[in-house]
Amino acid sequence: MSHKRTHEIACPFCGREQRVDLWDSICADEQPELREALLLNRVNRVECAGCGKSFRIDKPLVYRDGRRNIFIHFDPLIGGRTLADVEESFRQAQAELNGLLPADVAPLQVHLVVEWSELIERIFLLEAGLDARLVEHIKYLMYRQNAGKLPADRKGLLFDAQDSTVDQLCFVVQDRATRKLEAVLNFARADYAALANVFQADGQGGLLAEQFPGPYLNGRLRFLQDQAEQ
Ligand SMILES: [Zn+2]
């Protein structure tokens, strides 16, 4: 069931304190209108009672779509928490959850994202039946192939479901500082399928799992890491 709770917040523009109801969890299969609202960036948005300005509150949110078997935990890096902290608490929560499951039930595959844009992207990506790890690997390849033109420290890549076609997977280049969308890069679906075959033959725990051990998958950060090590 979707769940909302009252929070005490201060407006980032005028400082006015107010009580607002924010979503902790969303069950998209039970309330498809909440899925719509989320994809339109209307979930956990607040209009200030003082200055009237609108802003989104970054707080943890669990997204579930049982019908499509999609489970995503959005855990933003707020309150001084690092990526390592978030990954560690995610691992602990997963272990606890899986400990409660009967032995014959396969553990849930829950995705971890830390940015709002990643949450939206991951929903579209999983609904399109794509493999999140492989998509991050493809982003990694794009950074490598476009070295110089696509600086990974400043430019993000987001899968764009709406503009993808039967032949091409579409990715949008986003400036991380200004959030502006600047360019579009395509990746042939045939190449995606070929890579999927290679990695499937490679098996669980193969090269792809080695490159992205998880739980947080990010081709951009992986590329930056590898660059720094070279
Ligand atoms: Zn305000």
Q: Which two tokens stand for residue 153?
A: 């420290």
Tens-place pLDDT, residues 117-170? 999 999 999 999 999 999 999 999 999 999 889 999 999 999 999 999 999 999
pTM of the model: 0.93
**What spacing in Å lies between the alpha carbon of 35 and ligand 1's midpoint?**
27
Q: How confident is residue 55, by pLDDT bands cut at 50, 70 and 90? A: very high
Rounded to 5°, the CA angle 206-209-210 comes to: 80
User: What is the CA(43)–ligand 1 centre distance, in A?
Assistant: 18
CA of 54 to the centre of ligand 1 (A): 8
d(CA 40, CA 159): 16
Tell me the CA–centroid distance for residue 107 and ligand 1, in Å.
43
Q: For residue 172, give every residue at least 6 positions away whose Cβ sits within 8 Å of its Cβ, in sequence order, or none.
A: 157, 158, 160, 163, 181, 183, 184, 185
What is the SS3 assignment for the chain?
A: CCEEEEEEEECCCCCCEEEEEEEEEEECCCCHHHHHHHHCCCCCEEECCCCCCEEECCCCEEEEECCCCEEEEECCCCCCCCHHHHHHHHHHHHHHHHHHCCCCCCCCCCEEECCHHHHHHHHHHHHCCCCHHHHHHHHHHHHHHCCCCCCCCCEEEEEECCCCCCCEEEEEEEECCCCCEEEEEEEEHHHHHHHHHHHHHHCCCCHHHHHCCCCECCHHHHHHHHHHHC
Which residues are within 5 Å of ligand 1 (an ion), measured at CB? 11, 13-14, 16, 48, 50-51
Give which of 48, 50, 28 is closest to 37, Cα–Cα. 28
Expressed in angstroms and rounded, the spacing between residue 5 Cα and the centre of ligand 1 is 20
CA dihedral over 212, 107, 39, 163, signed as positive or negative: positive
CA distance 136 to 97: 26
176-201: average pLDDT: 94
> What is the whole-number distance in angstroms between the Cα of residue 147 and the centre of ligand 1?
42
Calculate how far, in angstroms, residue 74's C-alpha sits from the geometric centre of ligand 1: 25
pLDDT for the residue 188? 97
The string of pLDDT tens digits covering residues 4-50 is: 999 999 999 999 999 999 999 999 999 999 999 999 999 999 999 99
